[in-house]
Amino acid sequence: MLRGADGRHESPGETRLAYALRLQGVAATPQVAIPGSRTVVDFLLDEAPVVIEFDGRVKYGRDADEPDPFGRRRSREQVVWDEKRREDRLRELGYEVVRVVWSDLDSPRELAARIRRAVERSRRLSA
């Protein structure tokens, strides 16, 4: 586990996701700035324009008066809207997006299959 520790992971969920990706042989780089945007994604596959985002409930369940880790105070509705717009921008830039939640980490093989399907979609779109 220690060999896989990486200070770029911003949450325990991202750390567990990185471990699941390694177990399945999925090469991805954490915390990548996307060219042409002001967006940093949780993971970008090394082999294809596929973004992997870990979504914990904390981000969506915080009250508007509670600041997020970046000091922003947003309503739950605003957080969902901002995430939707962010994902739309990533898709417009040519990226497939795979969203991962805690329960997905219980089935690393199925997660890897979802990622492979996203890679295939990205290849069809770029052909």
**For the domain that residue 99 is a member of, what is the CATH number?**
3.40.960.10
**Confidence bin at 125 (pLDDT 50/70/90):** confident
Number of domains in the chain: 1
**Confidence bin at 5 (pLDDT 50/70/90):** low
Residue 127 lies in a domain: no
Which pTM does this prediction carry?
Answer: 0.79
Residue 66 lies in a domain: yes
Per-residue pLDDT for 113 more than 80? yes
Residue 42 lies in a domain: yes
What residues have CB less than 8 Å from 95, skipping those under 6 apart? 34, 49, 50, 51, 122
Mind listing the pLDDT tens digit for each residue in 19-66? 889 889 999 999 899 998 889 898 999 999 999 999 865 555 556 566
Q: What is the mean pLDDT of residues 111-119?
A: 96
Residue 16 lies in a domain: yes
Element (H, E) at 28: strand 28-33
**Confidence bin at 121 (pLDDT 50/70/90):** very high
Using CA atoms in the order 57, 60, 64, 65, what is the torsion angle rounded to 10 degrees?
20
**Confidence bin at 3 (pLDDT 50/70/90):** low
E strand residue ranges, 47-127:
50-54, 96-100
Residues of the domain holding 9: 2-121
